[in-house]
Structure 1
């Protein structure tokens, strides 16, 4: 009994330090809402995912029709699926905004917190890809075939690695069963890493627009920031439910409405919108192995940001750096558009130029920081 009371007391202390007494800079804006919104998105995805999993069976032949059947015959299952599908888009909107803000205010200098956050980002991308394949429609099947075939370029173990992922000579029922298992399991890993991320954040504290570190310029998290987060919750949920109820298919692809036909390749294979910038980088490289390396580096370069940054001041405070940051956002947006375009001129050359610009941001940015710091010190 005493151990139980002590355990409850420890849990209450953790919750109190997280939601009540956490000191937070008083000048942080609604841009800092994304962390709490991401936790809300994760909760929505896990809850709706568990409900959908209870009426899903991984099968190459029947999964597509089973999804349609459950949407039509199980009470409110259509709404659950639309919330889950659009919830993935909401998750990535908040995630990309969260990452962008951290780059802008150089929050990546909290190395451990940043590394865990990047790991969460990569696992979220993996989870979203696995879930995209599960309905086994025309686009998801061919998307899975194209992406998993990239593993064939891994030296020495490529063919064996593909067979391990597929569980058969091609994408088939064993593949779907494995994808379903990992799609169900990974969100709980993400949840655990999120807790670690929050704990590390509490050790370092939050950044703020002015870079103020004084403990005298902070407020307790409750009630000011609680109400700020609640306002963000209400606004985002209202927009999210509006889309889920009235425009649930806006972000989908027309090929997702067709059952699998392994003998007919879609005219243009493309992933969901939140993967398009990476997909554009992949196909901008004529060499297959070079494209895979560029794709991997486009994501994993985020791990190296703290080590590329050698200046002591926040990068966003230097003159040209704000312009560079917004040019970088424009570059990523255009790469997303290129990912939807057909593989033909002038989109190929445009994608190559934009891919070079994407990586140049990570190279030129740190050099500009050093230049401005030396100029100011001089």
Structure 2
């Protein structure tokens, strides 16, 4: 713990003293999420999304375990076992819809969490490791979601698996062997289903482990805050419990209400109707599209329609798609501005909202057919996406004139309420 004024855990009951001396789990919980963890006093509701991501993961693990009890990872029965869960298992429809929509809500809160980090520059020193571990979690989420999308063995599951794994075939020399190794054959089938099911079951627990590292890394420097000013003393903090447990509890209530609305009133709104047709290798869907949370990256993939010298367009698209994510790992070193918060960076704030619009445009184009004008729009939006991080962000850091920063978190809080710091 980096805060010397943090409350120390001192168990009073004899049983708790005995447990704490031999397995300091109560002390760990107290220091991690209790009154022993001081948090900046000015955190807003955008800091709820970390906790909501953890809740979403728990929903996915619980509902996934229940569904795994009834699922058969075989191409002859996979589609039927999913329908069996929906029709014959008590509460199976609820588990299936909570799992499917829970994945979408998981990505929603994680995307909001990422964009909050981008706006408030939560990736800057001394929190680089927190950011990097968060991106590892994001990559693991994407792998887990892709393999989970294959398991229902509908039309979009089968052809999505064929297209996405086919991307590796664009890699020279080693691409086709990697694709065959991933699928366990030359096309999606029993081997692919078994592998994807095993990994889809395993990876959420790996994500949970990385989340523990993510939280551990966060507790060393402490949480960032909307001003971007570091904590200077106990007057700048409040205990995590009860102040932020109550705030997170409110956010969790809103989250569960929205998830319940999706599950009960629009369970298939975020899905694709073709996935309710059993997989048929002889019938290609008119429009193959991944889940909505992959659309921006899918648009970048499809933006490359011509070869560049000796590099095929397909390989360029694959490289650009992976680069669009890997680029974020270098963000702590691309943005050299000494000011963290976008609230005090007027030029950065404008370009941040342009980036948000750009990603939304990419998402729309990724879900649209691969035809004009969507391809051309994807090309322009993809070019801007990379330009934002590689060109615009460093230039802003060099030429922007930030607004004056408050002297402390307490000063900013009191000024907001029309008071002066003593």
Does the C-alpha gap of structure 1 residues 136 and 9 become closer, same or farther in structure 2, counting only changes over 3 Å?
same
2:335 corresponding residue in structure 1? 309
Cα-to-partner distance string for 1:287-344 (whole Å, 9 max, x where unaligned): 0010001000111111010011122112612221111001101111111110111111
1:343 corresponding residue in structure 2? 370
1:119 corresponding residue in structure 2? 136
Q: SS of 2:210's equivalent? A: helix
Gaps of 5+ in 2: 1-14, 306-312, 405-422
Conserved? CA contact 1:311–1:373, under 8 Å = no
2:71 corresponding residue in structure 1? 56
1:211 maps onto 2:228 in alignment: yes
Q: SS of 1:5's equivalent? A: helix
Distance 1:4 1:272 in 2: 51
2:268 to 233, 243, 249: 249
Distance 1:90 1:227 in 2: 21
Distance 1:87 1:35 in 2: 15
Distance 2:54 2:203 in 1: 15
Distance 2:246 2:131 in 1: 26
Q: Any residues of structure 2 matched to 1:130-279 within 5 Å, and which?
A: 130-213=147-230, 214-215=232-233, 216-279=235-298
Gaps of 5+ in 1: none
1:41 corresponding residue in structure 2? 56
1:321 corresponding residue in structure 2? 348
State the aligned residue count. 376
Q: SS of 2:287's equivalent? A: coil
1:12 to 26, 51, 56: 26
1:67 maps onto 2:82 in alignment: yes
Cα-to-partner distance string for 1:39-90 (whole Å, 9 max, x where unaligned): 1001110010000011111111211111102210110001000000000000
1:357 corresponding residue in structure 2? 384
Moved more, 335-344 or 7-16: 7-16
Q: SS of 1:270's equivalent? A: coil
Does the C-alpha gap of structure 1 residues 11 and 375 become closer, same or farther in structure 2, counting only changes over 3 Å?
closer
Specify the structure having the higher radius of gyration (Cα). Answer: 2
Moved more, 195-204 or 340-349: 340-349
Scaled by the length of structure 2, what TM-score is found?
0.86
Conserved? CA contact 2:345–2:402, under 8 Å = no
Moved more, 277-286 or 58-67: 58-67
